[in-house]
Amino acid sequence: MTLIKMAWRNLWRNSRRTFITIFSMAFGLTMMIVGYALMDGMLNQMVHYATVLGTSHVQVHHPDYLEDHSLYDTINAPGTLLEDISGTGLGSAAPRIFATALVSSGQQSAGGQLWGIDPALENSVTELYKHLETGTWLAPDPMGQIVLGRNLARTLSAGPGDEVVVLTQAADGSLGNALYTVSGTLKSIGEALDRGGVIMHIKNLSDLLVMDSKVHEIAIRLNDPDALDTASSTLNETLDQKTYKVENWKQLFPELAEYLRVSSSSMTIILFIIFAVASLGIVNTQLMSLFERTREVGIMRALGLSPLSVAVLVLFETLFLAMIAAVAGGIAGVLWSLRLESVGWDISWMGGSFAFVGVAFDPHMYATLTPAAVIDSIVVMVIVVLIASLYPLFRAARISPVDAIGRGR
């Protein structure tokens, strides 16, 4: 008890140094928490872009469809399948049809990827409808409207109100051709959609391709995105695996899943390194303060204080520093992170929107603050500080009373 009191008082004998030490530790902790939250936010954004803006969490196809995207590898009873999926209560599902086509406006033509979607269902699965650059999203009824990917719209010099000819090979071998009106254009979403995306009502595309009611894909948005593996296996049990193939976004985007996995573990390592560098300052401060008090420690030892007690005294000083820094830095880090969570961080000055591992980004980062960010950071800080104090601790315990008292004069 006395040692605790002594440790506390010792701290304030040189209050300026103590403040500087606390400040540097607290600042390090703040940066750690904010960095952690930004990293989490970025990873979340990546998953969001990869899933809610197109792929969705889980997809169901004909077993061969993803291999060569053949028009004929279809899901033949989408109605029943949609019912089966909604019966599991896992989330919302929407049907899709795809085809490649020649898209032409005025004198310009380009290759395009046609997406037939049912706006009423699709809007509960993906948030593409929220990512329009110009114009409006598709109406719930098939009205011959299309929404173009950003780069395709530029290639065709087409915008809302313009007419676009779509030319493709229908399922019966005939030349499907029709005229559609652009209702809107998308923001940058991902390379494939940007370059060739032509999104239209599933009924319009089905007519163009002579597909009857067959579809190529059922996209599912899970109510609980974290229960990805459970959901996949539930669907695999529910659906006939000979007729359907169920894949989640981690299987569809293995690079992204791998990147996320590596990121979270590498993040911890990076935080450790950052704080280890900062801890050199702590070692320095502790040693300085110890050298100043060599004579004092010598007298305490002469008065009967054991080497262990001296070590404990220094340890308490360090722990007080760490606790004050944890509270101050923790509060600052949480406040800053919360601000970045609501307002975000505009990084468009770094060069507009960008793509990473094939996923496009808004040039506006949002942090995601999790309890883990705060707890992990504080734990890492305390561990690093304790490790950093080992050497000063050891030095303090080994001070010999005779040498220490003699040296002072």
Partner 1 sequence: MTSLKWKPVFLVLLICLFSSRISSAATAKEILEKVDDLWRGESSFAEMTMEVVTEHYERSMKLKAWSLGKEHSLFVITYPPKDRGVATLKAEKDIWNYLPRVNRVIRVPTSMMMANWMGSHFTNDDLVKESRMSEDYDAEVTFEGEKDGTSVYEIALLPKPEAPVVWGRIEITVIQETLIPIRSLYYDEDGILSRTMLFDDVKKLGGRLVPATMVLVPEDKPEEKTVITYDSLELGLGLKPEFFSRNTLTRKDLVR
- How far apart are CB 68 and partner 1 at their closest, in Å? 12
User: Closer to partner 1 at the Cβ: 25 or 193?
Assistant: 193
- How far apart are CB 110 and partner 1 at their closest, in Å? 6
Task: Choose which of 15, 16, 161, 172 interacts with partner 1 (CB under 8 A).
Answer: 172
- How far apart are CB 134 and partner 1 at their closest, in Å? 23
Q: Give the binding range for partner 1 (CB under 8 A) out of 44-52, 174-182, 275-283, 297-305.
A: 174-182
- How far apart are CB 32 and partner 1 at their closest, in Å? 50
User: Closer to partner 1 at the Cβ: 181 or 400?
Assistant: 181
End-to-end CA distance of the chain: 31
Does 240 engage in binding with partner 1 (CB under 8 A)?
Answer: no
Q: Give the binding range for partner 1 (CB under 8 A) out of 173-181, 236-244, 287-295, 368-376.
A: 173-181
* Site for partner 1, residues 300 to 329, rule: CB under 8 A: none
Does 72 engage in binding with partner 1 (CB under 8 A)?
Answer: yes
- How far apart are CB 67 and partner 1 at their closest, in Å? 15
- How far apart are CB 108 and partner 1 at their closest, in Å? 9
Does 266 engage in binding with partner 1 (CB under 8 A)?
Answer: no
* Site for partner 1, residues 105 to 144, rule: CB under 8 A: 107, 109-111
Task: Choose which of 4, 77, 102, 287 interacts with partner 1 (CB under 8 A).
Answer: 102
Q: Tell me how far apart the alpha carbons of residues 327 and 333 are, in angstroms, rounded to a whole number.
A: 10
Cβ atoms 108, 205 nearer than 8 A: no
Q: Give the binding range for partner 1 (CB under 8 A) out of 102-110, 249-257, 265-273, 349-357.
A: 102-110
Task: Choose which of 175, 269, 303, 308 interacts with partner 1 (CB under 8 A).
Answer: 175
**SS3 letters across the chain:** CHHHHHHHHHHHHHHHHHHHHHHHHHHHHHHHHHHHHHHHHHHHHHHHHHHHHHHCCEEEECCCHHHHCCCCCCECCHHHHHHHHHHCCCEEEEEEEEEEEEEEECCEEEEEEEEEECHHHHCCCCCHHHCEEEECCCCCCCCCEEEECHHHHHHHCCCCCCEEEEEEECCCCCEEEEEEEEEEEECCCEHHHHHHEEEEEHHHHHHHHCCCCCECEEEEEECCCCCHHHHHHHHHHHCCCCCCEEEEHHHHCHHHHHHHHHHHHHHHHHHHHHHHHHHHHHHHHHHHHHHHCHHHHHHHHHCCCCHHHHHHHHHHHHHHHHHHHHHHHHHHHHHHHHHHHHCCEECHHHCCCEEECCEEECCEECCCCCHHHHHHHHHHHHHHHHHHHHHHHHHHHCCCHHHHHHHHC
Does 371 engage in binding with partner 1 (CB under 8 A)?
Answer: no
Does 169 engage in binding with partner 1 (CB under 8 A)?
Answer: yes
- How far apart are CB 76 and partner 1 at their closest, in Å? 14
Report the length, in residues, of the chain. 409
- How far apart are CB 198 and partner 1 at their closest, in Å? 15
Phi-psi region at 163: left, alpha or beta (left = phi > 0; alpha = psi -120 to 50)? beta
- How far apart are CB 71 and partner 1 at their closest, in Å? 8
Q: Tell me how far apart the alpha carbons of residues 12 and 369 are, in angstroms, rounded to a whole number.
A: 34
Pattern 176-195, partner 1, x by CB under 8 A: -xxx----------------
Q: Give the binding range for partner 1 (CB under 8 A) out of 25-33, 175-183, 229-237, 340-348.
A: 175-183
Task: Choose which of 10, 56, 59, 104 interacts with partner 1 (CB under 8 A).
Answer: 104
What residue ranges bind partner 1 (CB under 8 A)? 71-72, 102, 104, 107, 109-111, 165, 167, 169, 171-175, 177-179
